[in-house]
Amino acid sequence: MVDKVEWTIGSQVPDFSLPASNGEEIALSDFRGRKVVLFFYPKNMTPTCTEEACSFRDNFSALEQAGAVVIGISPDPPKSHTRFIDKHSLPYLLLSDEEHKVSDMFGVWQMKKMFGREYMGIVRSTFLIDENGKLAAQWRKVKVKGHVEAVLAAVLS
């Protein structure tokens, strides 16, 4: 179990590993030396999550040319991630956080409300981690429209 972290720009992001859509266990430290765009989203195949995932797909080559790795994280199991990737031709890995350990560590596993019902879930958020594993930027309670462009601008700066 990883403790919650104080998320300030420049702070070291703790390493973690999760099962990935490619069948491997992927650790954040695997990408040391490259910028990492880590986006947390609630659920595969839902309209807003699909819009966000496809926006990262559509800007993937620009992010990659800027030296960034794109990784999505949701509580969905790896098989669901594989179907999501296949259906929408996503060119990046999706990690499965079924026990919410990493989502909780990042502070994005929170109480949510919809139609008067309360439940725990992921609050859509994105984190930019620099080549040394430090937090370079963060976006919480993300609105999808224009978000990936803001992330790309931060990666380029």
Q: Which two tokens stand for residue 12?
A: 């070291």
Range with the poorest average pLDDT among 43-47, 61-65, 69-73, 127-131: 43-47
> For residue 3, is pLDDT > 60?
no
The pLDDT score that the predictor gives to residue 2 is 46
100 burial type by CB count under 10 A (0-12 exposed, 13-18 middle, 19+ buried):
middle
Cβ 137 vs Cβ 148: under 8 Å = no
- Spatial contact of 125 and 135, defined as CB atoms under 8 Å apart: no
Which residues are registered as beta bridge partners of 109?
122
**88 CB burial (10 A radius; 0-12, 13-18, 19+):** middle
pTM of the model: 0.92
Residue numbers annotated as active site: 49
Mean pLDDT for 128-144 is 94
Q: Which uninterrupted H or E stretch holds 121?
A: strand 117-122
Per-residue pLDDT of 58-108, as tens digits, reads 999 999 999 999 999 999 999 999 999 999 999 999 999 999 999 999 999
110 membership: H or E segment, kind and range: strand 109-114
